[in-house]
């Protein structure tokens, strides 16, 4: 996986029959155990939830929930986005997030938000590169995780084109 090598990355949708790789990734990546509602929301979001494969190995995922706002507009909540440590730095997280941003632009969805633990500097910096801004800190959000604080980040989405998300190494 050295620099300069062609990386074979593919994205695949999550359906009932392949939800197990998402569950395994979540167990490896996050300090939270997700309930059935999380997986039902992920499946219901359709193309907004994806697995990333390096060759045939599932190494990352993004799972979203589509929410109806008052007035009928849809917003996207990114429930989780993660890539296994040995595969970070290869653009996999960027590809997953760009996929969701592109879907938002195609569907005229103008609001995306997510939560990040306050001590997760890598994630905070990653999202800032995409224009996400911290809008609030929720104290005592977690009961069994240290620190218990959580940042809410928000992006008023600008529409992007498919050309903007093309990554030459894919």
34 is catalytic: no
User: Which of 34, 53, 99, 115 is the catalytic position?
Assistant: 115
Q: CB neighbours of 98 closer than 8 A, spacing ≥ 6?
A: 160, 164, 165, 167
Out of 34, 53, 77, 102, which one is annotated catalytic? 77
39 catalytic, yes or no?
no
| Range 14-21, long-range pairs (CB < 8 A, 24+ positions) | 14/42, 14/43, 14/49, 14/50, 14/51, 14/61, 14/63, 15/43, 16/43, 18/51, 19/43, 21/51, 21/58, 21/61
Q: Which residues belong to the active site? A: 77, 115
């Amino acid at each position: 996986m050295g620099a300069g090598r062609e990386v074979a990355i593919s994205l695949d949708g999550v359906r009932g029959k392949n939800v197990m790789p998402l569950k395994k990734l979540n167990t490896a990546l996050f300090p939270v155990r997700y309930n059935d509602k999380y997986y039902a929301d992920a499946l219901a979001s359709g193309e907004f939830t994806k697995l990333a494969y390096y060759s045939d190995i599932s190494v990352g995922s993004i799972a979203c929930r589509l929410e109806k706002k008052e007035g009928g507009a849809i917003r996207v909540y990114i429930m989780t986005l993660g890539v296994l440590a040995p595969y970070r730095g290869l653009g996999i997280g960027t590809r997953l997030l760009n996929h969701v941003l592109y879907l938002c632009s195609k569907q005229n969805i103008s609001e995306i938000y997510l939560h990040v633990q306050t001590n997760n500097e890598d994630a905070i910096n990653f999202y800032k590169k995409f224009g996400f801004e911290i809008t609030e800190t929720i104290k005592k959000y977690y009961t069994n995780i240290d620190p218990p604080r959580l940042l809410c980040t928000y992006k008023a989405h600008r529409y992007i084109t498919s050309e903007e998300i093309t990554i030459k190494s894919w």
